[in-house]
Amino acid sequence: MICSCKKTHPSLTEEAILNYNALPPSLKGWRRYRIEYGFECGCPEGLIYLPTYVDPDKIEEILNDYES
């Protein structure tokens, strides 16, 4: 994905889950992250849920390797 802002490094930002009861049972205890492709420019964003044993920094590394 190419951002019009030319930001080359997607990043993850953790978001609070306000109502865990609304999640399916298989996602209980997982964490929610917003994937940002640009900085304050309206570039597309996505969401990803990760279990606690997954390092979000490793996911950023994978995304950045893919983008380069």
Tell me the average pLDDT across 34-52.
80
Tell me the average pLDDT across 31-46.
78
Confidence of residue 14 (pLDDT cuts 50, 70, 90): very high
Q: Domain for residue 2, yes or no? A: no
Q: Which residues contact 11 (CB under 8 A, 6 or more apart)?
A: 35, 36, 60
CA 23 to chain centre: 17
Q: How many domains does the chain have?
A: 1
DSSP 58: H
Q: Domain for residue 1, yes or no? A: no
Q: Domain for residue 4, yes or no? A: no
Please tell me the distance from the alpha carbon of residue 60 to that of residue 65, in angstroms, as a whole number: 8
Q: Domain for residue 5, yes or no? A: no
For residue 29, what are the domain limits?
11-67
Q: Which residues contact 17 (CB under 8 A, 6 or more apart)?
A: 23, 31, 32
Q: Domain for residue 6, yes or no? A: no
Please tell me the distance from the alpha carbon of residue 11 to that of residue 42, in angstroms, as a whole number: 15
pTM of the model: 0.74
- pLDDT tens digits along 47-66: 999 999 999 999 989 888 86
